[in-house]
Amino acid sequence: MSGATPTTPAPGPLAPGRALRARFLAGEATIGTFIGLGSVAAAEVCAAAGLDWVLVDLEHGGGSEAQLGAIVAAAGAYGTATLVRVEQPERIRIGRALDAGAAGLMFPRISSAAEAAEARRHQLYPPAGDRGVASYNRAARWTLDTGALDRANEQSVGIVQIETREAVDDVTAIAATPGVDVLFVGPQDLSYALDVPRQFDHPRFEAALDAVLAACRDAGKVAGILANDRAGIERYRERGFGFLAVGSDATLLAATVRGAIPDGLGVRR
């Protein structure tokens, strides 16, 4: 289908996502949260609070691909980009999230540079990759911005999770993979993989974090991690992490409710 190709993309909810990869490449620290409640309104509230990005979690969360477009629009209205963690780094899952307007993808369970390169290839239009080409979607403003097809390969963010022993062992090569912008530590998964479950101060876990940070510094990539609160975010930022996730919509809500209940009231379990 044909359509207008503006020289400068019109402003709108996709604009924050277009700029996000450039911010990563420039070394700018950003903060966001995971969206797992399956609620467009929850994502909008998090965006309204001032986050740089929200990350819709299709691996563990309660939402679905059908909500992605609405979340992109709702968050983008506040200048917040939408990222997506796919269930599996499969071509069809990656393409559908991008067509819905996602600024980029987080790939879980990546354990080697070869797997990272394959996942990234699914993000790219031919000849660099094998993403299916269509313009009647939100990413191309429903055929009104077919120039988005030309910009997409340079603008789509690639985030690889480091959550297995194998990933830590191959972290230098993963960080050097073209198009991988962020190496993101999933603390709980990684701690279990290292046989120190939830022991985030264990020397083995700390050594893995150091390896991720070193690989990112050497390759000019961004190190990312999840923290539960402001103190954790500040600690990890000082350590060198630049892609910072503070909890999720569910954990932030739960913590706020717990914190609002005076002592002696409510059911505590």
Q: Are 52 and 78 contacting, i.e. CB atoms less than 8 angstroms apart?
A: no
DSSP string, 41-59: HHHHHHHHTT-SEEEEETT
Structure tokens at 39: 């609620």
Cα 226 to chain centroid, rounded: 11
Distances from the Cα of 68 to the Cα of 20, 74, 81, 100, 168, angstroms: 17, 10, 12, 6, 31
What size, in residues, is the chain? 269
Structure tokens at 64: 């679905």
Q: Which residue is catalytic, options 22, 28, 60, 218?
A: 60
DSSP string, 72-132: HHHHHTTT-EEEEE-SS--HHHHHHHHHTT-SEEEE-S--SHHHHHHHHHHHS-TTT--PP
Euclidean distance between CA atoms 62 and 123, whole angstroms? 24
Q: Are 55 and 103 contacting, i.e. CB atoms less than 8 angstroms apart?
A: no
Euclidean distance between CA atoms 269 and 256, whole angstroms? 16
The gap between the terminal CA atoms of the chain, to the nearest Å, is 58
Place of tokens 């980009």: 81
Whether 122 sits among the annotated catalytic residues: the reply is: no
Active-site residue set: 60
